[in-house]
Structure 1
Amino acid sequence: MTFFMEKICRFAFLLILLAFIPQAKGEEIACDSVPKGKYIYVPDSLQNDVMKLLMGNSKVVDDESKFDFSEKVLWKGDTVPMKLRTRNLGRFDRGLFNYLFIPKGRWGFGLTASYGELSTDDLEIFDLLSDIDLGAHAFSIKPYLEYTVANNMSVGLRFGYTSAKANIGSFKVDIDEDMNFNLHDIMYRNEGYSAAFLFRQYIGISRRGRFGVFNEVELAFSSGNSDFQRPYDGELRTTHTTYMNAGLNFSPGVSVYMMKNVAFNLSFGVFGFHLRNERQTENGVEVGNRTTSGANFRFNLFNINFGISVHV
């Protein structure tokens, strides 16, 4: 029984060894001597690669000989490489490359926009919430312009405008005798403008240049104001806030060409730094000033951007 188990283990080891050895390509190497030890049978087509492995010269990446880095495509009467080598930043050349997605010298412009609205009138939820009368709407538009300064690399500008408003006419809560209240005559309004410098690096993942991913770095500045109005001691009190914000954001995304020059983009924020200053006045009298800063590293569901871009 032990004899057969030993044979099975040797056969399994041989299969694992052959599975991790790439097919032999290029010129065969000459060996001065055969390594000492036990011998195993390998096909003639794998002999050269097995010898490299036993001599410590194995490769951890595919042989570049099967990739044609001289292949060109025609762009505006000139030829550009279809495969772009990735710059090696470490000690080892991992042989990475990506396909051409957007060639140098191309202009692009796009737009992302969103709109949402909510309205209720005399809504009642069980016996806990009643006489719910509220409304809200939000609007955002962000056009941008970019220029490809190198193959698969672009810089650009993005401008933005956002507007939001919410009103609570009535909102009654009655849980028990010790917890009941009524919110009414509450209003919140916000309006802001933004401008940003952006840098994008694309990675083509298909030979035809239809699918690609990108990483976007954005240095953004924004300014705006908001009003919060509510009743206090029988009279309406309004708090006016003006703010300025600066941020550095990193947003990965996906780009797909639906037509020859029209692409659909999807990106989401995952990491960023921000610095914000707020100044508040209440009924025309300054009441406070605050500066905050921070960083986040998370997938933000409220920072998902859909858009259409055109490249010419």
Structure 2
Amino acid sequence: MTKRLLLAIVLLVGVTLTAGAQKERRKFKRIDRGVQESVFIPKGQWMAGGSVSYSEHEEDNLNFLVLKDVEGKGYNFKVSPYFGYFFADNMAAGFRFAYNRTYLDMPNFNLNLGDDLNISLSDLYYLQHRYDVSGFLRTYMPIGNSKIFGLFNELRLSYGYSTGKNSTGSGTEYDGTFEKAHHLQIGIAPGLTAFVTNWAAVEVSMDIMGFDFKWQNQQTNQIETGKRRTSSGNFKIDLFSINIGMTFYL
């Protein structure tokens, strides 16, 4: 009787282990997604390109909703060259540099919020220079069997330094602040590339996820000092972060 009981226990344990192994095999079974591992850009190529953007505005006695009698002008200029090397098929690493200049001069600005609540400012001035350097890792994937259209994803690590000046008023009522800031960013930017020739392509990318850290130091009227530290993370689609540029493959 004891031998029969031991034999039954052994058979039961064996069946249980076999069923568990089969369950684990079913659990880790991989699904074929049909992703084609074709070469879109081969190993050993260099890439170089950049993007340039410029916008300006001018207001003369502008009235819009709560804004009254606005006068001013300004512009924003940005240039960003970059280069990289393909150390493997469809994979590149490189560096990106950027310079951004923002200028605003507003002699008159009135904000009418109703109920005798009005805010009036004069001689508003703002000027900022920002310099950025980034290291990036980029991976490409063709769309189907196409050799013209492809998708890419770029991982960036950026450091930026900026100086700026803002002031209000004039004469004895002048109030000015000088600022220095350091920026550290980690981000992901997917995009689409389209070859227009065998060695040149147009690219469109968008920043959708990242972490941003900023440290600011201010000095007002050469006397008062102030500091500020901010950090943020986001996962969103920002239409104002769309970048369009030209890339050459050598």
TM-score (norm 2): 0.82
Contact 2:36 2:144 in 1 (8 A): no
The question of 1:153 aligning with 2:91 is answered yes
Given the alignment, which residue of 190, 193, 213 partners 2:151? 213
Name the CA shift for 1:161/1:154 in 2 (closer, same or farther; >3 Å): same
Contact 2:123 2:170 in 1 (8 A): no
Which residue of structure 2 lines up, in the alignment, with residue 100 of structure 1?
A: 39
The amino acid across from 1:216 in the alignment is E
Q: How does 1:88-127 map to 2 (within 5 A)?
A: 91-92=29-30, 94=32, 96-125=35-64
The question of 1:179 aligning with 2:117 is answered yes
Contact 1:240 1:282 in 2 (8 A): yes
The amino acid across from 1:113 in the alignment is V
* Alignment RMSD (CA, Å): 2.1
Given the alignment, which residue of 229, 240, 243 partners 2:178? 240
Q: How does 1:49-68 map to 2 (within 5 A)?
A: none
Runs of 4+ in 1 over 4 A off after TM superposition: 173-177
CA distance, structure 1, for counterparts of residue 156 and residue 186 of structure 2 = 6
Which is worse superposed, 293-302 or 257-266?
293-302
Structure ranking higher on relative contact order (CA contacts 8 Å, 6+ apart):
2
The question of 1:201 aligning with 2:135 is answered no
Deviations 1:75-122 (A, max 9, x none): xxxxxxxxxxxxxxx751525323321111000100111100000223
The question of 1:192 aligning with 2:156 is answered no
Which residue of structure 2 lines up, in the alignment, with residue 70 of structure 1?
A: none
Given the alignment, which residue of 215, 221, 228 partners 1:283? 221
Which residue of structure 1 lines up, in the alignment, with residue 233 of structure 2?
A: 295
Larger radius of gyration between Structure 1 and Structure 2: 1
Which has a greater percent of strand? 2
The question of 1:222 aligning with 2:160 is answered yes
CA distance, structure 2, for counterparts of residue 175 and residue 296 of structure 1 = 32
TM-score (norm 1): 0.67
Give the match's secondary structure for 1:98.
coil
Which residue of structure 1 lines up, in the alignment, with residue 169 of structure 2?
A: 231
Percent sequence identity over matched residues? 29
CA distance, structure 2, for counterparts of residue 232 and residue 301 of structure 1 = 38
Give the match's secondary structure for 2:194.
strand
Contact 2:129 2:164 in 1 (8 A): yes
User: How far is the alpha carbon of 1:179 from its aligned partner?
Assistant: 2.3
Deviations 1:6-60 (A, max 9, x none): xxxxxxxxxxxxxxxxxxxxxxxxxxxxxxxxxxxxxxxxxxxxxxxxxxxxxxx
Aligned residues: 222
5+ residue gaps, structure 1:
1-89
Contact 1:99 1:206 in 2 (8 A): no
User: How far is the alpha carbon of 1:228 from its aligned partner?
Assistant: 1.2
